[in-house]
Structure 1
């Protein structure tokens, strides 16, 4: 009889424990502050004002010259929660001795499958030797109220030429940046680049429907090339250029390029030959 009474007393405790555990799990699933959406990313920097903190992330935790894929999230400082419905835009600016300019950048959009993460890219075409010179302004809107934060940032020089700025024969300044392959291998790699033109000092729209001819060479190995490369063509879905890059061995590769407009007129770059070992338009890759 005492055993039965003990069991009856124990049942409410068990039910209460199960209910509390269930509620706790529901909260973890529903509350973005209790789950991590930045696994695999490293924080670059925080922007903070009295109301909010904007956290910036990427794979290596720093800005570098060239293509930078960036993830952001916005925290409400009062509640310590990350916000799910924010409209964001940004403006990177480099301060030169006599002028200032921006660089190619994307819109900021909600990351696919994420509650609180937003993403975009910025292509820094240059920097000072110590990483100084750049600032980043992030404008954002929450429930119809506009905010803005500007912070100084560091942009370090990437070890190889993964971005180049040049004047074409059409008197237009272009920015060309290597995006893929990030982890090159001995194989036919997908090559992806971004091509932009300088409309003015602050505006760099995507260049559409051009062709980028590709001739990869190994200067340290007799300047040999590789088979089965294809020229890069424009993809209207994401506004980038794609081609095949054949890498037959590890080491330093010069990716010799020619830029051709929609009429197949060469705007920059030359063929590689015995008399001309490299193009004036190129990117670099080493692995």
Structure 2
């Protein structure tokens, strides 16, 4: 074969290998700052679950999902995904607040959503996760047990309101608190049934942050939490004047200005019965 024919073939081969490598690199880069929690598998696919910590904890969890075709070892880019977390209790079972699962922004193979586990067993057991998904109009499902560890701080609270309804309040932000004004984001959900936890809109959560270890002092320039229709969460300004352990005392007030849970912090009542915790 003439050299003039060999050289173009070499360039074609190099170009093809480079394109394949770049594509693999892009898939790997989609996992930046993510650690695999575990795989869920059936005969057809393997479902990869990722978080930033490599664990599930009580409270708010952002979870990333990828689907691998077991036969071709390729990642699925066009799936529709739904999930159902379930905790098995001795005499009953229940779910928890969760989002829809959608394609992560600017990602080819990664899907994303959140689950708020409101409780767990001391050893992390009790929870299972079912993922139902559709690829090219074909429906699949996979279920397996998962481990949910207890967070050291109370970042989620499940309680009965004075209206006889059960609610879940969860701390979402700040995930990295700073000294100064922080964007406080909280999710509020109603336990409609054992398996349904819709978001609660247009209530109010009053905010009174305190440092129990420092004379229970508060801080200036805080605002109460109000509903934001863009992300369906509750937002406020949280002022943290120093590092350490903080209790975010809350009162839940409905649209008719009725207090459903929580009390004012006073000299004789040092903490509300509705609160979340953070430490930095």
TM-score, scaled relative to structure 2 = 0.96
Q: Secondary structure at the match of 1:82?
A: coil
Q: Which has the higher mean CA deviation after the structures are superposed, 52-61 or 273-282?
A: 273-282
With over 3 angstroms needed to count, the CA separation of the structure-2 counterparts of 1:123 and 1:278, relative to structure 1, is same
The alignment status of 1:190 with 2:175, answered yes or no, reads no
Tell me the alpha carbon deviations over residues 18-61 of structure 1, each in whole angstroms, 9 at most, x when there is no partner.
22222222334456886442121000010111110000001000
| Aligned partners of 1:28 and 1:35 also within 8 Å | no
Tell me the alpha carbon deviations over residues 70-108 of structure 1, each in whole angstroms, 9 at most, x when there is no partner.
000100010000000101101111111111100000010
Within 1, Cα distance between the matches of 2:269 and 2:275? 13
| Aligned partners of 1:33 and 1:80 also within 8 Å | no
The alignment status of 1:237 with 2:233, answered yes or no, reads no
| Aligned partners of 1:181 and 1:190 also within 8 Å | yes
**Residue 74 of structure 1 corresponds to which residue in structure 2?**
67
Q: Secondary structure at the match of 1:26?
A: helix
**Residue 219 of structure 2 corresponds to which residue in structure 1?**
226
Give the C-alpha shift of residue 17 in structure 1.
2.5
What RMSD over aligned residues (CA atoms) do the two structures have, in Å? 1.6
Give the C-alpha shift of residue 13 in structure 1.
3.9
Q: Secondary structure at the match of 2:125?
A: coil
Q: 1:174 aligns with which of 164, 167, 173?
A: 167
1:34-73 paired onto structure 2 within 5 Å: 35-73=28-66
Higher Rg of the two aligned structures: 1
| Aligned partners of 2:27 and 2:108 also within 8 Å | no
Gaps of 5+ in 2: none
TM-score, scaled relative to structure 1 = 0.94
Query: What is the count of residue pairs matched by the alignment?
Result: 280
| Aligned partners of 2:27 and 2:109 also within 8 Å | no
**Residue 214 of structure 1 corresponds to which residue in structure 2?**
207
Give the C-alpha shift of residue 11 in structure 1.
4.7
Give the C-alpha shift of residue 238 in structure 1.
1.4
Gaps of 5+ in 1: 1-8
